[in-house]
Amino acid sequence: MLSNILHKIIDNCSIFNQQCQLCGLVSCAHGICPACLRLLTPLPPDSRCIRCALPLSAAGLCGACLQHPPAFDALHAPYVFCYPLDVLIHRFKYGRHIELASALGHLLCHGVTSDTSGIDVVIPVPLAKERLAERGFNQSAELARSLAGTIRSRFDPTLCGRKRNTAAQAGLDLAARRRNLRDAFCVDPAVAGLSIAIVDDVATTGETLSEMAATLKKGGPNRVLAWALSRAVAIKT
Ligand SMILES: [Zn+2]
Ligand SMILES: [Zn+2]
């Protein structure tokens, strides 16, 4: 395949390489050097909840998904939201370091498998106009664009919009998160019959992705899969 040959050339050619975004020492193709990549914590690929990706002792449904299943059909998340990925994501979002988009987009696509072949369209979690103006770019849109390129699907941020600005979810309990997101999104009827991947940078409780999926499902898509670069996992003490 031509694209495979191009990827090989890019990986081996120093003019396409950049300094590692974590250690700043090594030149590497995708922005994170192999040594720093080993510092990230992957979510276990098999022993996790098949719906929300919560680590479990064996694959199955977690208690929360048994009681209140999220509106998305499954969540794919390659990494745990912890140091040092949390630092990179924070720098990307709040430090306006858009140059991290390529490295983080590459991480999101880590472990992409052939089950993505049926995805018709990739849609980012939309940002409200006010927040977009403040931040300058939508971090989820940058990640979604990268995913769409990797799985050769269509990137379309216009199919789901944000009707109103919502308070930041951080620091809110689950009930408050749900109230905060109620009626926050709107859907384009063009989603009918499509297989959709929705993308966010972090899934904390999964409520944002679930509420967005619930809104999209009103438009009658075939399925809605959620993708997050990282997933928060409660540390057991
Ligand atoms: Zn490094
Ligand atoms: Zn679950």
The CATH-assigned architecture of domain 45-231 is 3-Layer(aba) Sandwich (3.40)
Ligand 1 centre distance from Cα of residue 20 (Å): 5
Q: Which ligand has the nearest atom to the CA of 66?
A: 2
pTM for the predicted model, two decimal places: 0.88
Check whether 9 has a pLDDT greater than 70: no
**Tens digit of each residue's pLDDT (9 = 90 or more) over 25-71:** 888 888 899 999 999 999 988 899 999 999 999 989 999 999 999 99
pLDDT of residue 183: 84
Residue range(s) in the chain whose domain bears CATH number 3.40.50? 45-231
In tens, the pLDDT along 190-212 reads 999 999 999 999 999 899 999 99
What pLDDT sits at residue 72?
97
Distance 160 CA to ligand 2 centre (A): 24
Bond before 221 cis per omega within 30 degrees: no
Sign of the torsion angle spanned by Cα atoms 159, 119, 230, 66: positive
Ligand having the closest approach to the CA of 22: 1
Ligand 2 centroid vs 195 CA: distance in angstroms?
A: 21
* Cα separations in angstroms, 159 against 56, 70, 109, 200: 34, 20, 22, 15
Rounded mean pLDDT of 149-178? 84
Residue 6 pLDDT? 54
Q: How far is the CA of 104 from the centre of ligand 1 (A)?
A: 14
- Is 237's pLDDT higher than 50? no
Helix (H, G, I), strand (E, B) or coil at 50: coil
Ligand nearest to the CA of 64: 2
- What is the gyration radius of the CA atoms in the chain, in angstroms? 18
CA of 38 to the centre of ligand 1 (A): 9
Percent of the chain beyond pLDDT 90?
Answer: 64
Spacing, Cα 84 to ligand 1 middle (Å)? 11
